[in-house]
Amino acid sequence: MTPLSIYIHIPFCIHKCGYCDFNSYALEGLLEKGHVGEDWAAAYAGAAIRDIESRASALGLAGMPVETVFFGGGTPSLFPAPETARILRSLRERFEILPGAEIALEANPGAAESGRFAALREAGVNRISIGMQSFSDTALRRLERVHTGEDAREAFRSARRAGFENISLDLMFGIPHQGLDEAAADVESAIDLGPEHLSAYELTIESGTNFGALHARGELGGLPDEDTALAMWEMRDRLLSAAGYERYEISNFARPGFKCRHNLNYWRRGEYLGAGAGAHSFIAGRRFWNHARPDHYIKASGDPTAGKEIIDSAEKAIGETFMLGLRLTDGVSLDEAARSCGADPEEIFGGVFSELIESGLLERAGRTLRLTPKGLLLANQVLQKFI
C-alpha cells in the first residue's frame, strides 16, 4: 500500500495576524464569545480523534501505513502537549506509523510555547517548524506578530535543547517598509542559527484579511516595488545557496536529507487524510473538507464534512498534477503523470506547454517539464494555466 499522509489542523492562536488567511482564530475571542469552553483543548482533541476514527472506518483506511503526520494551524504549539500526545496515540492505534515517519508540528516563538518543546519531543514529534517571519522587532510589529526577534532565537535554542535535530524556520520578505538590507539581515540571522530547512517567501496580500482591507483602501503603504521584490528573491536564493541549502520548491530550501516529506506528498498529489476544523483530505480521487469553525467542527466531529468533490476527469487530474508538481524544481514527469492520471498530458495540455515554453517560463528535459528561473518568479501566472 502507498503510505498515507495525515494532517491535523489546530486553529487556535494568541492573535490573528493581519496578513493571515489561514483558518485560525484568536483563542481569547473564542472563549469570550462562548464558541469554546474552558476545556477547549480536551474537547478539540476528542473531536479530532472521533473524526479520525470515523474516517478510518468509513474509508477503509485502518491499518494503512503512514509516512508523515503534520500538525498545522493556527498555532499548534499553543495546544497543550498532552492533548497532542493523545492525538498521536490515537493515530498509532489506527494506522501503521512507519519507522522513521516524519511527525512535524508548527510553532510560534514565545516563552509559553517554546517551553512545551521537550514534552512534544517526548510525545513523538520529530520535526518543528518555527514561524519566525523576521528577526527585526520593527518588522514583527508591522506584521502584528506577538513575539520579538530574541523570542525567535530563543525558540530555536529551546527546540535544540529539547533534542530536535530537524528544525525548519519560516521567513517572510517584502514586509511593509522593509529594505533589501533588512531582508538580507533576516536571511543571514536564520543561516547563523543553522536550521535544517527554511521556508522563505514573499508577503502576499490576501482578500479577507486585515491587510487586504487596508490595501483595498490604499492604507497599507511601504510594499516593495517590482525591482525591490525581485532583488529580495535573488538575494534569498544567493545567500541560501552559498550556505548549502538546496532550493527544491518555489519558497523552500533544505540541507541534504531534510526536505519536508509531508509537503512533498502534497505537491506530488499523494493521498492525505485531514482532521480538524477546516482540514482537507484527498483519498481515492475524492476531495472533502471539514466545517471551518471550531465549535461547529466539535459538534459534528462524527461526520464533520462540509463539502466534497470527486475528481472524475483525466483533464482535471492532470491539471492538478501540473499545478502542484511544477512548484518543485525537479518538475513533473510526463510519463508518471500519464500513469497516475490515465491519459496523455500532451493530448490535453500540449498547447499550454508549447505556449509556456515559447514564453521562456517552462523548459523540457527529456520527458520532464519544469519551470525556468523566470517561470519560478512568475509561478502564480503559470500554475493558473492548469486550473
Report d(CA 75, CA 183) in Å as an integer. 24
What is the rounded (10 degree) CA torsion for 109, 118, 264, 94?
-130
199 within a domain of the structure (yes/no):
yes
Do 205 and 89 lie in a common domain? yes
Question: Looking at the 3D structure of the chain, how many domains does it have?
Answer: 2
Task: Confirm whether 142 is domain-assigned.
Answer: yes
Same domain, 323 and 252: no
Residue listed under C-alpha cell 493558473? 384
277 part of a folded domain: no
- Is residue 193 within 8 A of residue 154, CB to CB? The reply is no
Q: Write out pLDDT tens, residues 315-351.
A: 999 999 999 999 999 999 999 999 999 999 999 999 9
Look at residue 298 and tell me if it is in a domain: no
Residue 21 identity? D
pLDDT at 351: 96
**304, part of any domain:** no
Is the same domain home to 346 and 263? no
- The predicted pLDDT at position 112 comes to 55
Cα 57 to Cα 63, 97, 108, 242, distances in angstroms: 10, 17, 34, 49
Q: Are the C-beta atoms of residues 103 and 88 closer than 8 Å to each other?
A: yes
pLDDT of residue 166: 98
Give the residue ranges of the chain where pLDDT is below 50. Answer: none
275 within a domain of the structure (yes/no) = no
Mean pLDDT for the chain overall: 95
**What pLDDT score does 110 carry?**
74
Nearest alpha-carbon partner for 304 in 277, 281, 271, 282:
277
What does the radius of gyration of the chain's CA atoms come to, in whole angstroms? Answer: 21
Q: Give the pLDDT score at 2.
A: 87
Could you give the CA distance from residue 61 to residue 386 in angstroms, rounded to a whole number?
30
Q: How far apart, in Å, are the Cα atoms of 278 and each of 73, 129, 281, 285, 288?
A: 10, 21, 10, 19, 10
**Together in a domain, 36 and 180:** yes
Angle between helices 180-193 and 226-242 (to 10 degrees): 20
C-alpha–C-alpha distance, residues 96 and 62, integer Å: 8
Please indicate, yes or no, whether residues 228 and 341 belong to a single structural domain of this protein.
no
Give the count of beta carbons closer than 10 Å to the beta carbon of residue 330. Answer: 15
Do both 81 and 172 map to the same domain?
A: yes
Are 263 and 330 found together in one domain?
no
Closest among 148, 162, 72, 181 to 115, alpha carbons compared: 162
Does a cis peptide bond (omega within 30 degrees of 0) precede residue 74? yes
Rounded CA separation 324/304 (Å): 26
The predicted-structure confidence for 25-68, as pLDDT tens digits, reads as follows: 999 999 999 999 999 999 999 999 999 999 999 999 999 999 99
Domain closes at, from 211, 241, 267: 267
Q: What is the CATH number of the domain that holds 100?
A: 3.20.20.70
Give the pLDDT confidence score for residue 114 in this predicted structure. 64
Residue where a domain stops, chosen among 252, 267, 282: 267
Looking at this protein, which amino acid is placed at residue 96? E
| Predicted local distance difference test score (pLDDT) of residue 113 | 59
Give the predicted TM-score (pTM) of the model.
Answer: 0.95
Does a structural domain hold residue 297?
A: no
> Per DSSP, what are the bridge partners of residue 348?
none
Identify the CATH number of the domain in which residue 331 sits: 1.10.10.10
What does the block give as the cell for 252?
523552500
Domain that holds residue 343: 314-387
* Same domain, residue pair 142 and 49: yes
Looking at the structure, tell me whether residues 16 and 106 fall in a common domain.
yes
Residues 91 and 167 in one domain: yes
